């Protein structure tokens, strides 16, 4: 059962202290300037048998999350031999998986309960058949099984294939996002939790705190919510070229694994970046490339969405509270750092941080589109999000309590009423701005955008 290939990730079988000090992920955390502890660590059940899934994009920290969760269980007194971490990257197919898990279960037959963590389960050929067999046969009936995957379609597959096998937990599915702006402030210890709450409630928005808030948001536009990039800047004053390459290599590798072409991926990402923040159709994207058919564009973007590289913001049918499928879409990267990594690969520059990222965020027009994407990416974590395509456009329309809330993003030094004609038609519409002071335009609230982002975890 304890195959030597998995031993480096199961050092707790020797001693908890060895695991804490020498586990690959935990050891790396110990050397980082900043360490994030996701709230999911406390939300994933610790004593309810069933099959649970943790989805999230590449390099977002799923493996680190599992190791931190394991350490929490061990420190709570769980029997070390009852926890087993394996990675799908080292398992060929579902036959191998069933054999390995069957042996582990047999060795744990005297244990009342055990834990099985399968990281990147989608690497295993026919993984779902293996998990279904293990569940149907009762082999994992007294186990808490956590599966992770970087392709979000695997969560849909698990929901479809394993109904009724999630135990009594309220939530069998978890999604790990890059850090929000608020989480980044917390991790970097910029403000205390009490200070953040005061800012959210507008209790203390003094000029000094607003200066700090805006300065940190400008940093967020560069490193996004990725801990490696955040720690690079803290350690080296820049994001290292290898950090950009690590992420872009994963995007390319995962697409190649799905039978896609690197050259086509390059063209589509290039087109998305050129048209960033603009309304687009599959036809318009295809016409900006050498791709013959719009269906190819749709296929690639669907995969990029499943991988949490990009997301599609649809126009809304307001009276139906749903997407308008025939209207143009807006496509954004899920995090600024992902966009910068994609651009670094496409542009093939030696010093991405200095030659690509800093000039991009210093460009007022490009920064405006980037900020719009950040605002929508945060909002979609809590609400269904769209944009309004009417006489003029409204950047964001999100549904809360079956009501449409309208938001316009204006990341400019001056806001002109003539640019707000559409949002001003909505009595409850708000304007997110680059201004550090709150105010009103024709009775519509103008809110500093970084302040508004603090509402999203």
pLDDT-based confidence at 162, cuts 50/70/90? confident
Give the rounded percent of residues in the chain with a pLDDT score beyond 90: 86
pLDDT-based confidence at 150, cuts 50/70/90? confident
Read off the pLDDT of residues 389-421 as tens digits, 9 standing for 90 and up.
988 999 999 999 999 999 999 999 988 888 899
The confidence score (pLDDT) of residue 1 equals 45
pTM over 0.75: yes
The confidence score (pLDDT) of residue 133 equals 95
Which residue is listed with tokens 């519509």?
A: 444
Q: How large is the average pLDDT for residues 303-327?
A: 95
Instruction: Indicate the domain borders of the chain.
Output: 4-175, 182-453
Asked if residue 167 has pLDDT above 60, the reply is no
The confidence score (pLDDT) of residue 17 equals 97
CATH match for 4-175 among 3.55.40.20, 3.40.630.30, 3.40.50.300, 3.40.228.10: 3.40.50.300
Asked if residue 228 has pLDDT above 90, the reply is yes
Asked if residue 159 has pLDDT above 90, the reply is no
The confidence score (pLDDT) of residue 121 equals 94
The confidence score (pLDDT) of residue 202 equals 76
Residue 222 in contact with residue 360, Cβ under 8 Å?
no
* Residues making up the chain, counted from first to last: 457
Asked if residue 168 has pLDDT above 60, the reply is no
Point out the least confidently predicted range of 43-52, 150-159, 195-204, 440-449: 150-159
């Amino acid at each position: 059962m304890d195959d030597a290939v998995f031993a480096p990730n199961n050092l707790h079988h020797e001693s908890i202290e060895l695991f804490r000090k020498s586990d690959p992920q935990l050891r790396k955390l110990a050397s980082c300037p900043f360490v994030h502890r996701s709230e999911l660590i406390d939300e994933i059940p610790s004593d309810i048998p069933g099959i649970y899934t943790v989805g999230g994009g590449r390099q977002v920290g799923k493996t680190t999350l599992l190791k931190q969760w394991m350490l929490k269980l061990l420190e709570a007194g769980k029997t070390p031999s009852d926890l087993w971490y394996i990675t799908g990257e080292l398992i060929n197919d579902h036959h191998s998986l069933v054999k390995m898990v069957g042996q582990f279960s047999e060795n744990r037959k005297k244990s009342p309960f055990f834990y099985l963590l399968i990281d990147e389960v989608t690497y295993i050929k026919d993984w779902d058949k293996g998990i279904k067999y293990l569940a149907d046969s009762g082999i994992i009936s007294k186990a808490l099984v956590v599966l992770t995957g970087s392709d979000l379609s695997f969560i849909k597959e698990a929901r479809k294939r394993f109904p009724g096998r999630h135990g009594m937990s309220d939530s069998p599915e978890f999604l790990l996002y890059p850090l929000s702006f608020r989480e980044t402030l917390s991790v970097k210890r910029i403000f205390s939790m009490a200070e953040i709450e005061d800012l959210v409630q507008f209790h203390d928005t003094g000029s000094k705190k607003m200066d700090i808030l805006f300065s940190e948001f400008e940093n967020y536009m560069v490193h996004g919510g990725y801990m490696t990039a955040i720690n690079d800047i803290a350690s080296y004053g820049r994001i290292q070229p290898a950090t950009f390459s690590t992420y872009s290599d994963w995007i390319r590798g995962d697409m190649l694994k799905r039978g896609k072409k690197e050259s086509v991926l390059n063209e589509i990402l290039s087109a998305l970046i050129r048209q960033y923040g603009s309304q687009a159709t599959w036809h318009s994207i295809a016409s900006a490339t050498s791709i013959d058919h719009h269906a190819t564009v749709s296929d690639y973007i669907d995969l990029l969405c499943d991988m949490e590289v990009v997301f599609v913001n649809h126009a809304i049918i307001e009276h139906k509270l749903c997407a308008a499928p025939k209207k143009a879409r807006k496509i954004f990267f899920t995090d600024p750092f992902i966009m910068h990594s994609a651009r670094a690969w496409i542009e093939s520059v030696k010093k991405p941080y200095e030659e690509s990222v800093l000039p991009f965020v210093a460009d007022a027009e490009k920064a405006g589109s980037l900020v719009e994407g950040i605002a929508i990416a945060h909002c979609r974590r809590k609400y269904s999000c769209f944009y309004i395509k009417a006489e003029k456009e409204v950047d964001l329309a999100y549904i809360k309590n079956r009501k449409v809330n309208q938001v316009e993003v204006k990341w400019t030094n001056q806001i002109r009423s003539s640019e707000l004609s559409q949002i001003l038609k909505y009595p409850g519409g708000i304007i997110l701005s680059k201004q550090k002071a709150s105010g009103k335009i024709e009775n519509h609230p103008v809110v500093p955008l970084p302040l508004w982002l603090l509402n999203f975890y």
